[in-house]
Structure 1
Amino acid sequence: MIGVIGIIISLFLLMYLAYRGWSVILIAPVLACLAASFAIFDGGSFHMLATYTEKFMPALAGYIKAYFPMFLLGAVFGKVMDVSGSANAIAEFITTKIGKGKEIWAVVLSCAVITYGGVSLFVAAFAIYPIGAALFREADIPKRILPPAIALGAFTFTMTAIPGTPQIQNAIPMTFFGTDAFAAPILGIVAALIMLFGGMFWLTHVEKKAKAAGEGYGDHKNENLQIMDPQYLPSFVTSITPIIVVIVANFAFSKWILPSFDSSYLETDYDTSFKAVSGTWSLILALILGVALVILFNYKRFDKGVVECLKDGVQGSFLAVMNTASEVGYGNVIKTLAGFSLVAAGMLSISDNPLIGEAISSSVLAGITGSASGGLSIALATFSEQFIARASELGISPEVLHRVASVACGGLDTLPHNGAVITLLNVTGMTHKECYGNIGMCTVVIPAISCVAIIILGSMGIV
């Protein structure tokens, strides 16, 4: 069918142009219309403006409606943690305590702690890079290992696997499966351990091999590193407390506090259920508390004032949510095309196990869009009802569906055209040729292995 060719051409251009630095907000609707135009060759019809306003835009708006609060509060929380020096203080503490000889561990764990607490992976890259570069230079570890170490700590297990993570990739499944951020804790911990120790095994192996070959940090003349003086940073306790509060409050709100209130009004007045919104509400309230505590503890550290910092955080959230929402709008157009039904049928026919179909669709669509959250949203919006029905027949819990979907989207999303990968390489001054092999191993191959592991365990009834 020619329509399938149109989809392939459109997807290739999306990946290529995004890789070349084009704004997804601009190219996504254009390429969606390009794919839809191929319907003419199959005897169908194509109306460009109708495709844009009636298919692309409703999906974009629906995504913003559902997830903008998390993007907004996550960006604000990340910004106040960054500007107050809290993120740097945590990294400084961890690197000091771990000591020499474990520099890779120090970078990975620093990224993991702040991203698990709600700081965005982009902020983590900016915050940890100067400290990591200083550590690697002093230990004479090849700099090409630094971006993979940051990616392992920020782009993998804290983004998708560890129960309770406030990252958007763990929040999206809640609205489809009626779960919360702590869904399937055993599976999440298993996946996280595979990613962490698998990634560390690989990076330490690369480090030993490089040192045996006499390779050192290297000569990087264009480095312009600015490391905050530790004596001016807030204390570790002050810095880590808001992160702990976010995690604990999220759990308390979702498991105890919110369920104790009468929520019958949701069904009568708002045509929804408490189960559908409780996870989102818990995360919103937890992030608000986290932001408030960072400001309270570090009020005098905001050189340009709290208002300016909050404004910067808000502005940062706009681009992030619009990029992902545009990819979701693109996906919504694609999934309505006749050609996509063939692609979808192919993905779903691979296995009768809904976990396998869910993992394949989430991962493939994340790879196509170059976005874990974008691919996950498209996959669940398109197939979640089928997954739920099949899982119910097999006695598989919605929590297992949640965790498999979340972990699966964090695999192929970090192909070379992924925005986070490109940003990380730009921040560190490295290239795809120097680093992507190790980034891919830590963020694509090993997470895929962890996904296979939890599919097996989830099919056995382990939650």
Structure 2
Amino acid sequence: MMSIFAILLSLSLLIYFAYRGVSVLVLAPVLAILAVVLSGESTQTMGMYTEVFMQGLGGFAIKYFPLFILGAIFGTLMEDSGYAYSIAHNIVEKLGDKHALLAVVLACCILTYGGISAFVVTFAIYPIAAALFKQTNIPKRLIPGAICIGALTLTMTALPGSPAIHNVIPMPYFGTDAFAAPGLGIIAAIVMLGGGMLWMYRQLQVAHANHEGYGNHMLNEKAPHSGIDVPNFWLALTPIFIVIIGNYAFSKLIIPMWNNSYLADEQFGGIALSSVIGIWAIILSLFLACVFVIALNFKRIGSVTESLNKGAMGSLLPIFNTASEVGYGSVIATLAGFAVIKQYLMGISPENPLISEAIMVNVLAGVTGSASGGLGIALEIMGDNYMQLAEQYNIDPELMHRIASLASGGLDSLPHNGAIITMLTICGLTHRESYKDIFVVAVIVPIIALILVIVLGSMFGSF
């Protein structure tokens, strides 16, 4: 009983201090050790830190670092070349004033589906959205909700082929690729986009009925790009196509044709191709996209070296934040109290492990305030169990993958989520002004989509 209390106290402190802005790099090891001490295992403190926490952290970093660094470099190159701005600017211009909300959402969708991080997308789209909303007298407080739909929902967890880390983490555990359960993913994406837009347009109608306009905002008001020397729209889209089409081609066609028998050798861990093919495909696709952007924009970028360095450095904090949360989960999983919690969660609808998986991933994502962190923790400590249950109940691993990915994108967007806090800071808004919309479009609607996919998956299997 004391061990359960220790875990709950540790998790509560993690939520509180993360919301207060304390770095997870500090919180994760300190609170993991606190849980160990309060569980009555203080003699194991150093062993837990060096052999459990650091092993969990290191294992995650080793597996996924190439994706984080390539993704960050790609996002930086798209930003510095003007491609990200061109895509956002042209979509907003084409759809016009009457569809301002939809224009912002679609611009974010295209950028994030192409592998650009939500942080880069927010920086790229915010000045354009602010100018457009001011011009059309739409309340500025609606900008974060629109960005969330496009950057933190369907392209992050639902759309098949997404290179987002939330769609990548399940691959090694279930032997899948980024296109797992494509039909169910598309259905979830439609629900997220449709449900989110219905809410946002309803809020816009209410605002207009109350004669609420853009508002007298001064904080972080920026002039949008001058529009001079904006790259061609279709050329700017090409790297996005390279990532998406390359991901499919490498995972479904090219890599399977290679001679991969050497993976069975001891020096490669004796792994199956299915454990790495999804990750390899995204690494190769992002690499080719980066080469394309550099080759066609060597002069426009200014300093390629500076862009590469900026992207590389920008990848370090996200990877180590998430890896630290995985290390934290690795320690918690060793405690006696977690065995009780695990047994309880596994006992929820034992004949349908999809429900247990969805609850565990969603809750851990909410606790850590991180979709990737919660997903990483859940699969690190329970991934093998879920794969065994999938085999036992004849559940397609692709369905387990899609449920895990979707479940990471619900409770993660609670107020202490780092991406939410950063987004509001960039937009010069507060939780009080904009969080209600964020909660509906990034928490409630994705959970509805998740429930629908669980029902459909349970009835018809993966498709």
TM-score range, shorter chain: over 0.9
For each residue in 1:241-296, what CA deviation from the matched residue of structure 2 results, as whole angstroms up to 9, or x when unmatched?
Answer: 00001100110000000000111110124111111111110010000011111111
Deviates more, 1:440-449 or 1:18-27: 18-27
The aligned runs of 1:210-221 (5 Å cut-off) are 210-221=207-218
Which residue does 1:363 correspond to in 2? 362
Q: State how many pairs are aligned.
A: 459
The equivalent residue for 1:12 is: 12
Q: Is the 8 A contact 1:396 1:458 kept in 2?
A: no
User: Match for residue 27 of structure 1?
Assistant: 27
Calculate percent identity across the aligned residue pairs. Answer: 50
Give, as a single letter, the amino acid of the residue that structure 2 aligns with 1:216.
Answer: G
Q: Residue 389 of structure 2 aligns with which residue?
A: 390
Residues 71-109 of structure 1: per-residue CA shift (max 9 Å, x gap): 000000000001111111000110011111111101100
1:365-394 Cα offsets, whole Å, 9 max, x none, are 111111111111111122222222222232
Ranges in structure 1 where 5+ consecutive residues have no aligned partner: none
8 Å contact 2:141–2:433 — kept in the other structure?
yes
Q: Is the 8 A contact 1:39 1:46 kept in 2?
A: no
* TM-score (structure 2 length as normaliser): 0.97
- Within the candidate set 323, 326, 343, 1:325 is matched to 323
TM-score between both structures, scaled by the size of structure 1: 0.97
The alpha carbon displacement at 1:222 in A equals 2.4
> Could you tell me which residue of structure 1 aligns to residue 141 of structure 2?
144
Letter in 1 for 2:443: V
Q: 1:238–1:297: 8 Å Cα contact kept in structure 2?
A: no
Q: Contact 1:116–1:165 (CA<8 Å) still a contact in 2?
A: yes
Q: Quick one: distance in 1 between partners of 2:358 and 2:83?
A: 36
Structure 2 gaps of 5+ residues are none
Q: Which amino acid aligns with 2:197?
A: M
Provide the C-alpha distance between the structure 1 equivalents of 2:317 and 2:8, rounded to a whole number of angstroms: 26
Matched, 1:441 2:440: yes
2:273 matches 1:274:
yes
- In 2: Cα distance, 1:250 partner to 1:240 partner: 16
Given candidates 237, 240, 243, the residue that maps to 2:237 is 240
2:98 to 98, 101, 107: 101
Whole-Å separation in 1 of the counterparts to 2:439 and 2:42? 41
In structure 2, the partner of 1:2 is: 2
Query: Which of 156, 162, 168 is matched with 2:153 structurally?
Result: 156
SS in 2 for 1:47: helix
Matched residue, 1:125: 122
Structure-2 separation of matches of 1:193 and 1:359: 19
Matches within 5 A, 1:1-400: 1-40=1-40, 44-269=41-266, 270=268, 271-303=270-302, 305-352=303-350, 353-400=352-399
What SS does the aligned partner of 1:225 have?
coil
Instruction: State the alpha-carbon separation in 1 of the partners of residues 347 and 137 from structure 2.
Output: 50
CA deviation after TM superposition for structure 1 residue 26, in Å: 1.2
Note if contact 2:161-2:244 (Cα within 8 Å) is conserved in structure 1. yes
Match of 1:425 in 2: 424
How far does residue 146 in structure 1 lie from its aligned partner after superposition?
Answer: 0.6
Hey, what does 1:404 align to over in structure 2?
Answer: 403
Kept in 2: contact 1:82–1:88 (CA 8 A): yes
Distance (whole Å) between structure 1 residues aligned to residue 16 and residue 172 of structure 2: 31
Q: Displacement of 1:45 after TM fit?
A: 4.5
Residues of 1 paired with 2:389 and 2:8: CA distance?
A: 29
* Counterparts of 2:220 and 2:365, CA distance in 1: 33
Cα root mean square deviation, aligned? 1.0
* Per-residue deviation, residues 326-349 of structure 1 (Å, max 9, x unmatched): 111111111111111122222221
